[in-house]
Amino acid sequence: MPRVSESHLEARRRQILDAARTAFARYGFEGATVRVLEEGAGLSRGAIFHHFEDKDALFLALAEADVEEMAHTVAAHGLVQVMRELIVRPDEGWLGTQLEISRRLRTDTEFRTTWAQRSSAVSIATRERLQRQRDAGKLRDDVDIEVLASYLELVLEGLVTHLATGLPADRFGVVLDLVESSVRRDSLVERTQ
């Protein structure tokens, strides 16, 4: 039997992930049946599950890829930058995946346990970035890092929900300017003068 190249395997895996992202966003986790996944990917069930143990593993692979990408952006530019990129290029598949993660965290205790072990990269990157900003004198120092991180995470969750429901985002750039200025030290100094 001929060997399949790594690039071919990676391309097939990407094809499956892209189709799964669309299916999960459109139908939710339960509605993205194996038949829906097969039709979306244009592949057989065997071809799909050769790359992923089951549908849950496929969903987790998507969610973990999102966490990895977000953590990279957060480390380099901050969580507000993730939000700015969402406003400029809202991705229905990504937004759908995030909403499905939230739903499953609320309704699926096994998923909640698994996800808690795998999702900490963005949280860690956010707190490390905030600490670096504080150490550089750019971040307000009258509010605990944990509180600031929670605040930014709540804003992100609200933004995801808003964008995923199709509501307009025309003022969100200004809203994010306000969010960003509320955590910066220079804005605090200006308010007290």
pLDDT given at position 89? 86
Provide CATH 1.10.10.60 ranges for the chain.
Answer: 1-52
pLDDT above 60 for 16: yes
Provide CATH 1.10.357.10 ranges for the chain.
Answer: 56-192
- Which residue has better confidence, 9 or 3? 9
Helix orientation angle between 34-41 and 6-31, rounded to the nearest 10 degrees: 140
Residues 65-86 pLDDT 10s? 999 999 999 999 999 999 999 9
Which amino acid makes up residue 190? E
Other CB atoms within a 10 A radius of the CB of residue 97 amount to: 23
The CA distances from residue 164 to 96, 121, 161, in Å, are 7, 23, 5
Contact 185, 141 (CB under 8 A): yes
pLDDT above 50 for 173: yes
pLDDT above 70 for 190: no
pLDDT above 50 for 192: no
Closest C-alpha to 75, from 110, 114, 127: 127
d(CA 36, CA 165): 22
pLDDT above 80 for 88: yes
What string of DSSP letters covers 47-69?
HHHHHSSSHHHHHHHHHHHHHHH
pLDDT given at position 1? 53
Residues 112-140 pLDDT 10s? 998 888 888 999 999 999 999 999 999 99
Give the confidence band of 92 by pLDDT, cuts at 50, 70, 90.
confident
Provide the CATH number for the domain formed by 1-52 in this structure: 1.10.10.60
> What value does the mean pLDDT take over residues 100-106?
90
- Residue 4 backbone phi and psi in degrees, to 5: -95, 135
36-66 per-residue burial string, b: 16 or more CB within 10 A, e: under 16:
bbbebbebeeeebbebbeebeebbbbbbeeb
- Residue 139 backbone phi and psi in degrees, to 5: -110, 140
- Structural class in CATH, domain 56-192: mainly alpha
pLDDT above 70 for 187: no
Closest C-alpha to 98, from 40, 153, 42, 149: 153
- Which residue has better confidence, 192 or 145? 145
Mean pLDDT of the chain: 89
For 74, counting Cβ atoms within 10 Å of its Cβ (0-12 exposed, 13-18 middle, 19+ buried), the class is buried
